[in-house]
Chains A and B, each alone.
Chain A
Amino acid sequence: MANVIRRQTPAARLLRAVLYGVLIVAGLFYILPMVVMLMTSIKPLSEISAGTLLSLPQNPTLEPWTKAWGEACTGMRCEGVGGYFWNSFAMVIPAVLISTTVGALNGYALTKWRFKGSELVFALMLFGCFIPFQVVLLPMAQTLGWLGLSSSRAGLILVHVVFGIAFTTLFFRNFYVGIPNELVSAAKLDGAGFFRIFWRILLPVSAPIIVVSVIWQFTQIWNDFLFGVAFSAHNTQPVTVALNNLVNTSTGVREYNVDMAAAMIAALPTLVVYVLAGKYFVRGLTAGSVKG
């Protein structure tokens, strides 16, 4: 479906100019909020009240960034969002690794070792992708309490793994369905076992889906707010919660430049992932909608 509008007549050329015009205006709609955020984050407060959103910074300064990182108040404490930034990493990395590993093994078992009821098992697990998490919040809070994991990092990791497995299993299951069974069958005849076949045959071809799963889980867990706000305390709070606290702390003058710098800090890791691996990011987003 391309090249339907052809470049021939002057009318067609005009149409093409309009086409580019519309596309660029749309691009501005998406890019300008980020530009404004970045510019605001390097303006001194005086320039913010004197100028407008789009006035260029006259005396760019990194002070809002250092303040957002190490001094700004998030509720009662005034330590910036830096510590919470690392909290997020300490939560995200184990949660992503565990949920991806479990998802890979599940997907492998569900496709290459089918048994009676394996489709049902998949359907059962898949439902976890769709529930609104409000429906598990209260029991989860109580269960974490019983496990002695209230407000702990391990508790948050557990929550993210438990509700991430549905997605990672879906990714790997849909990917492994497309890998021919012949190799696996031959290896089985040779007497290779479950893990050996996974390690030698499936894993070497899994790189693309591992990337998709890691990126999906990373952005989901990094960007999570609901679980973070419900199940964490000061020393485990993720950066999204800290950012929200920072913006809503009302002590003295509102420092919009610091707010924007803190928002940039919270946004950077997922933006970097998107820029480096955008293709896989899109694939993860669409995986849920592609029939398996």
Chain B
Amino acid sequence: MSEPTTRTAVRPTASGWLQAWLPRLVLAPSVAVSLFFVYGFMFWTFVLSLTSSRMLPSYDFVGFGQYTRLMANERWWIASTNLMLFGVLFIVICLVIGALLAILLDQKIRQEGALRTIYLYPMALSFIVTGVVWKWLLNPQLGIQAMVQSWGFESFRFDWIVDPDMAIYTLVIAAVWQASGFVMALFLAGLRGIDDSIVKAAQLDGASLPRIYWRVVMPCLRPVVFSAVMILAHIAIKSFDLVVALTGGGPGYATDLPATFMYTHAFNRAQIGLGSASAMLMLGGVLAILIPYLYSELRSRKHG
């Protein structure tokens, strides 16, 4: 990988030696930090997950007992199923809205810049702010439900946030509101990078517009879809603050996600062993998405 032009000739002098090693010395603290705080901590959490730690870490090993307990824990299953449901809906809806808005914005729209700014700004907000705002909008007594009822639709119901079966969808709404503009920006950048002549050729062949987008443009955007899915999946797995601010995991624990499950058990319920086991499974989930992605990235880089 290294190019001969950038390699320094190592001279046998002290300053030459220093110059040759300086780059490594500059990188050393970061490497050390990352070995300790990332890899070391991951291993440490793994070790904790094999112990019976409760209030404080103890090193009394119980094998994979905590994982068995986790598998038997109803609340963990609810949290995991919630993540699947939330993750899939969040990703799919963001992709659909993002792609649609990008295609529509790419039709020589006046005020495109202003619209883009409006679509994207929620991404700059904290999930806590997003949660607080949507909690207000979804409040059955004073929010959207009350507003529509005051317009004369007395029987209108939109009380998902207090309904254990529907509350998980309020997380989807708020998360889509926050992130779909970002997906739009990704798609728009992708569209702008497509060679016009491919589309012109398809037009000359008499292909209809939807057909052109589906058959010609979308395949070109595959890498964009891939990266977007990657980033969105990552946001979904890490979702913690949004749940805390919007539903607090409730009603009951109907909207718990693995991230809130881990935090509650490790920090509030004195179940450090169990919390660590759940953190390791979250890491496993991330790796399951990341490894195929990196693999295909590396492969395409070798070919291209």
Q: Is the CB of B119 within 8 A of A134?
A: no
Chain B residues with Cβ below 8 Å from A142 are 57
As a 0/1 sequence over residues 222 to 264 of chain B, the CB contacts with chain A under 8 angstroms (1 = contact) are: 0010011011001001101100110010000000001100110
User: Does B8 sit at the interface, judged by CB under 8 A?
Assistant: yes
A3 to B189, CA, bound (A): 16
Q: Is the CB of B241 within 8 A of A113?
A: no
As a 0/1 sequence over residues 157 to 190 of chain A, the CB contacts with chain B under 8 angstroms (1 = contact) are: 0000011011001000000000001101100100
Chain A residues with Cβ below 8 Å from B244 are 225, 229, 244
User: Does B59 sit at the interface, judged by CB under 8 A?
Assistant: no
Chain A residues with Cβ below 8 Å from B154 are none
Q: Which of B63-71, B72-80, B85-93, B143-151 contacts A (4 or more CB under 8 A)?
A: B143-151
A1 to B104, CA, bound (A): 11
User: Does A271 sit at the interface, judged by CB under 8 A?
Assistant: yes
What total of chain A residues lie within 8 Å of the partner, measured CB to CB?
100
Q: Is the CB of A119 within 8 A of B38?
A: no
User: Does A128 sit at the interface, judged by CB under 8 A?
Assistant: yes
Q: Is the CB of A109 within 8 A of B23?
A: yes
Q: Is the CB of B234 within 8 A of A130?
A: yes
A49 to B142, CA, bound (A): 7
CB contact under 8 A between A27 and B30, given known A112-B6, A271-B124: no
Q: Is the CB of A110 within 8 A of B27?
A: yes
Q: Is the CB of B282 within 8 A of A124?
A: no
- Distance of A3 from chain B, by nearest CB (Å): 5
A113 to B6, CA, bound (A): 6
Q: Is the CB of B118 within 8 A of A27?
A: yes
- Distance of A49 from chain B, by nearest CB (Å): 7
- Distance of B116 from chain A, by nearest CB (Å): 8
- Distance of A47 from chain B, by nearest CB (Å): 11
Best-buried of A19, A139, A163 by chain B (most CB within 10 Å): A139
Q: Is the CB of A263 within 8 A of B280?
A: no
User: Does A247 sit at the interface, judged by CB under 8 A?
Assistant: yes
Q: Is the CB of A256 within 8 A of B189?
A: no
Main secondary structure of the interface of B (DSSP, over half): helix
What total of chain B residues lie within 8 Å of the partner, measured CB to CB?
109
Chain A residues with Cβ below 8 Å from B108 are 2-3
User: Does B136 sit at the interface, judged by CB under 8 A?
Assistant: yes
Which residue of B is nearest A184, CB measured?
Answer: B6
Chain A residues with Cβ below 8 Å from B231 are 288-289
Q: Is the CB of A181 within 8 A of B142?
A: no
Chain A residues with Cβ below 8 Å from B194 are 1
Q: Is the CB of A271 within 8 A of B30?
A: no
User: Does A204 sit at the interface, judged by CB under 8 A?
Assistant: no
User: With contacts A36-B136, A267-B125, A286-B189 known, what are 13 further pairs, Cβ within 8 A?
Assistant: A30-B122, A34-B133, A49-B142, A53-B143, A109-B23, A128-B37, A131-B38, A131-B286, A138-B275, A142-B57, A165-B30, A226-B240, A274-B124
Question: Hey, which bits of chain A sit against chain B, CB under 8 A?
Answer: 1-5, 16, 19-20, 22-23, 26-27, 29-31, 33-34, 36-37, 40, 48-49, 52-54, 102, 105-106, 109-110, 112-116, 118-119, 121, 124-125, 127-128, 130-140, 142, 162-163, 165-166, 169, 181-182, 184-185, 188, 193-195, 219, 222-226, 229-230, 240, 243-244, 247-248, 256, 259-260, 262-263, 266-267, 270-271, 273-275, 278, 281-282, 285-286, 288-289, 291
